[in-house]
Chain A
Amino acid sequence: MAEEPPATVIDETVLAPSRGWIAVNWRELIRGRELLYFLVWRDVKVRYKQAVLGAAWVVLQPLFNMVLFTVVFGGVANFSTRMGDRWGHAYALYVFVAMLPWQIVSTGLNNGGMSLLYQTNLLTKIYFPRLYVPTSVVGGALFDFMISSLFVIVLMVWFHVAPSAWIVTLPLLLILTLACSAGAAYLFSALTITYRDFRFLIPFIGQVWMWGSFVAFPPSVLKLGFKMRIILSLNPMYGIITAWRKLLLGGAPDSITGFDPMLFASSVVVTAAFFVLGLFYFRRTERRFADIA
């Protein structure tokens, strides 16, 4: 006759059909968080292990964009002169500061968006909280951010730019940026699994989003109308990037950073909504992943 083990030890799981919107099982996510760390570690390690340039590549990619923009917009289109002496010369830094948060979100969108598709064998063979997959991509993006920020510090020293007093809010801004990235990762990873042709839309969405976030130059250069500005306020990355500029480019006027408190507030709200939407859409479609993968 088996003895009844103490009630606290028994883990009772009920497997039954679920319907509609499903809550996030926070307890489960926190309990298994070690696996999340492992997945992040795995992604990072694999990426960095392969090439000798491993760590350098992370910096090289935004660096390449920065150089490209500097040449095209700074040199050719002369936006840099329109930004005035001080900031026109530091154009490279200007672009790079915006690339920092943009890379986080871009990784969440592109890599995160495809993350489930690349792991179909995991989805169909073993159970673990599926949210870990796109979340680990965001974790990887955070790691890349750390590496890139070293380069930003180098640039800041080079151009004699000090961060503004707002720098103390950097952790909060970072969390906000990560939330935007995570929202994109959750939403798009669930979408690409559900709709197989969606994966082809992702690079396109990424491009449009980037241009709509004014990474390369402040919108003041373009003199946008009121309608455009309303639409812009719906893009959370626009507000977030202006905030990063405000933090890191000490002394830059708002015409250069593009920062506007109302706009930023709207970005925060939109980001929060985006994150929640992504999270819940993921949970809702999660139960079918193994069936349709």
Chain B
Amino acid sequence: MSKPIITVENLSKAYFLGHQLDRHQTFREAIMRMAKVPLQRLRERSGPSRDSVDAFWALRGVNFEVERGEVLGLVGRNGAGKSTLLKVLSRITEPTEGRAVLRGRVASLLEVGTGFHPELSGRENIFLNGSILGMKHSEIKSKFDQIVAFSEIEQFLDTPVKRYSSGMYVRLAFAVAAHLEPEILIVDEVLAVGDARFQKRCLGKMKEVSSGEGRTVLFVSHNMQAVSTLTTRCVLLKQGHVESVGPTAEILNQYIREGGGAADLIYTAPASDEKPKITRVELRTSEPHNVQANGKPMQVLIEITTPRAIESARLSFHACNALGDSMIHFWAHDDEREMCRTPGTYRLVFEIPKLRLYMGNYTLRMNLKEFAGGKEFDAVESICPFEVVMYGQERQGGWFRGSCTYLEESSWDVQKVA
């Protein structure tokens, strides 16, 4: 069994706030300190004290392994330590404790266009940036045409980069980075820039790089869809610690569940004097504590308070999965039943006799509009988080997350024909 390509053992990174080692000091202070207490300064400089009160541990005791050829996602809230971990693994900053072993060349994409110089042309910057990222001149030359084709800036190749639009800039930067050939590729949120089409191509390219060429990728993103598409395993970081490691679908669900915060089944918002608002949403699940059993009834109660009449009101809501994709769509239109034709508070009740959604974590998203093509008065997202479970339904081999989206009723029969 080959050794994992990345081994992280008890990795910790502390920032000593206010301590001389991490804040850039002034020379004047240093001289004064040196003059005052030489011995004390020597002791301080020999290393940061672990029990220093102002130590902020961005990472503490992180352990995990990455196998060759794996695409590992790194998720967690802002401040969980993802970027710090990437910085350590990219050799940009040193760990305070513990260690990490990398068994392959690393290329990091923590920001696109690192090293681009505005005065140089696109062509020149391809070589410069590629070199900074670790490519040899011959490598860059052989891939030059591919890079230019991917970035789609052929006509502007010889103009200085300072004249590029931000979109062109990003495309070029990513194009160079995408054609690197490291054994390990570390990517941090770089896909957050650029338009949707570009993001799709980047994702495609990264997928090609990982599955086609068998490279190991360490991927950080807030885009759950991207993480889900690209990665097979994820590490969930919480406040500098590894909360859990596991298959992507499971980890994402866990992440969403935790993100729910107080996990209210009831959403409330104050009414407004100026426009119609969704003032209350209550989710009544079949089981207690936000849990809904598959195949059992579910109720959604929605209250709308409007200060004026709405012409042809429409309320639409979706049950969305952990990635934010809509799984089920429900709606209530004034055309079907009168609603919101006069100012006041209205309560809508949705009855779902058998919820067919498969096990997983879901939230509700809804909006309130007027006639088709009209104004949207209110919209809420990610409310009423609930979890669907397979209670009371036995199956040989058990139920696995992520295997399907919903369970449909069907009957089947078999006959021997030959």
Contacts and interface: CB of A to CB of B under 8 A. Distances in A.
A4 interface: yes
A125 B112 CA distance: 9
Contacts of A17: 94-97, 99
Given A17-B96, A127-B108, A46 B119 contact: yes
Contact of A50 (B69, B119, B127): B119
Contacts of A15: 88-89, 91, 94-95, 99-102
Interface string A35-59: 1001000100110011000000000
Interface residues of B, number: 55
A288 B13 CA distance: 12
Interface stretch (B131-139, B379-387, B399-407): B131-139
A224 B170 CA distance: 62
B167 interface: no
Interface residues of A, number: 45
Nearest to B67: A2
B22 interface: yes
Given A45-B120, A50-B119, A38 B22 contact: no
B114 A10 contact: no
A269 interface: no
A13 B93 contact: no
Contacts of B105: 11
A292 interface: yes
Contacts of B133: 126
Contacts of A194: 24-25
Given A11-B104, A16-B99, A127-B108, A196 B26 contact: yes
Contact of B93 (A2, A19, A49, A291): A291
B15 A195 contact: no
Contacts of A292: 22-24
Interface of A: 1-5, 10-19, 32, 34-35, 38, 42, 45-46, 49-50, 121-128, 191, 193-198, 201, 287-288, 290-292
11 contacts: A2-B68, A4-B2, A14-B99, A16-B95, A17-B99, A46-B117, A125-B114, A126-B132, A126-B133, A196-B25, A292-B23
Nearest 10 pairs of A and B residues by beta carbon: A195-B27, A16-B99, A127-B91, A197-B26, A38-B131, A15-B100, A292-B24, A13-B102, A290-B93, A196-B24
